[in-house]
């Protein structure tokens, strides 16, 4: 374990990944400080104006909205839009900061649950073999027949908008990779003598799986999980982009990019006019996913020589 940590920090690319991740964690934790919520629900992005057109960075809150806050007796902690507003006056900066929390939530929760389900199914399948293995693997094949985005789209269309529905969709079609991975590892580990020795001693199956097989086979799953955090966030963002993910106005990066869809081309004569609507959310998404991918990629390189049993 120490060796792994040491290698993670010494490799240039994973170091960049760790630093990036660290920055995001800080942003997520300090969200209420960096971008104080202006309403009850911190995940509801405040609107700077009713204007459909996005407003450039530095835009000051429009008067009619200011009046609403006065009327409601609410304290305006800030009123300048640092990164500009997206379509409908939603403040981009706020959306990005609180969107970090959303990203972590989506990434970590979906991956954790999907991995758990996958490992569970995969290890049962591999350990017991026979009919159980056949059936479980066929079920896995069936789920694998759906391209991930398409399946998620179908589920979210039918279940409705909302972050929790998005997570359900991601988990439902995200566990298969882990199942296959752990199944492969256990199938080979199962034949090792230490497992036969445990069986010969009469150790219960569940204990064998839990104490002997899993600790030795779980590392590739962890590597895969790390890489998948990024792709889960991307898929969730893609769903929001297509209009079937988070509800309108929710602090989610994909949501922010979807606001930009119609404005990317700018107005005639000024093509890059609304660059900020795509640039800021885009940069956040890319850096977040890049961080996880860099770390995961290095973890996989560490894993490879281990598998081969070299020095």
* Residues 239/100/299/181 CA torsion (nearest 10 deg): -40
| Residue that is written with structure tokens 């640092």 in the block | 82
Place of tokens 């606001």: 259
| Nearest alpha-carbon partner for 252 in 85, 36, 102 | 102
Q: How far is the CB of 123 from other proteins (least distance, A)?
A: 22
Residue 285 interacts with other proteins (CB under 8 A)? yes
Window 141-180: residues binding other proteins (CB under 8 A): 141-143, 145-151, 153-159
Residue number with CB closer to other proteins (208 or 256):
256
Confirm or reject binding of residue 225 to other proteins (CB under 8 A): no
3-state secondary structure 60-105: ECCHHHHHHHHHHCCCCCCCEECCCECCCCEEHHHHHHHHHHHHHH
Distances (CA, A) of 31 to 28, 99, 140, 201: 5, 9, 39, 54
**Could you tell me the two tokens for 102?**
């959303």
Region of 49-57, 205-213, 218-226, 283-291 interacting with other proteins (CB under 8 A): 283-291
Q: Which stretch binds other proteins (CB under 8 A): 52-60, 88-96, 181-189, 254-262?
A: 254-262
> Minimum distance from CB of 82 to other proteins (Å)?
21
280 forms part of the interface with other proteins (CB under 8 A): no
Q: Which of residues 13-32 bind other proteins (CB under 8 A)?
A: 13
User: Considering beta carbons, is residue 165 or 212 the nearer one to other proteins?
Assistant: 165
Residue 265 in the binding site for other proteins (CB under 8 A) = yes
Strands in 141-231 per DSSP E: none
Q: How far is the CB of 282 from other proteins (least distance, A)?
A: 5
């Amino acid at each position: 374990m120490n060796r792994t940590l040491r290698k993670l920090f010494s490799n240039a690319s994973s170091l960049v990944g760790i630093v990036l991740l660290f920055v995001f964690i800080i942003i997520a934790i300090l969200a209420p400080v960096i971008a104080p919520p202006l309403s009850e629900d911190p995940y509801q992005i405040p609107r700077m104006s009713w204007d459909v057109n996005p407003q450039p960075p530095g835009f000051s809150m429009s008067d009619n909205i200011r009046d609403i806050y006065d009327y409601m007796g609410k304290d305006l902690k800030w009123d300048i839009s640092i990164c500009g507003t997206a379509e409908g006056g939603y403040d981009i900066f706020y959306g990005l900061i609180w969107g970090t929390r959303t990203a972590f939530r989506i990434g970590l929760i979906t991956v954790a649950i999907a991995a758990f389900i996958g490992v569970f199914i995969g290890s049962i399948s591999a350990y017991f073999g026979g009919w159980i293995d056949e059936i479980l693997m066929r079920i896995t094949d069936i789920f694998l027949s759906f391209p991930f985005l398409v399946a998620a789209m179908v589920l979210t269309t039918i279940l409705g908008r909302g972050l929790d529905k998005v997570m359900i969709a991601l988990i439902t079609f995200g566990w298969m990779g882990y199942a296959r991975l752990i199944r492969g590892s256990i199938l080979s580990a199962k034949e090792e003598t230490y497992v036969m020795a445990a069986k010969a001693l009469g150790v219960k199956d569940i204990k064998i799986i839990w104490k002997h097989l899993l600790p030795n086979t779980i590392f590739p799953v962890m590597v895969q999980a790390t890489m998948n955090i990024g792709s889960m966030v991307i898929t969730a963002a893609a769903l929001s982009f297509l209009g079937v993910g988070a509800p309108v106005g929710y602090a989610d990066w994909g949501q922010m990019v979807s606001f930009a869809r119609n404005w990317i081309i700018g107005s005639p004569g000024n093509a890059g006019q609304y660059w900020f609507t795509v640039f800021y959310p885009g940069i956040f998404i890319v850096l977040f996913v890049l961080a996880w991918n860099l770390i995961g990629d290095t973890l996989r390189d560490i894993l490879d020589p281990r598998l081969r049993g070299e020095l």
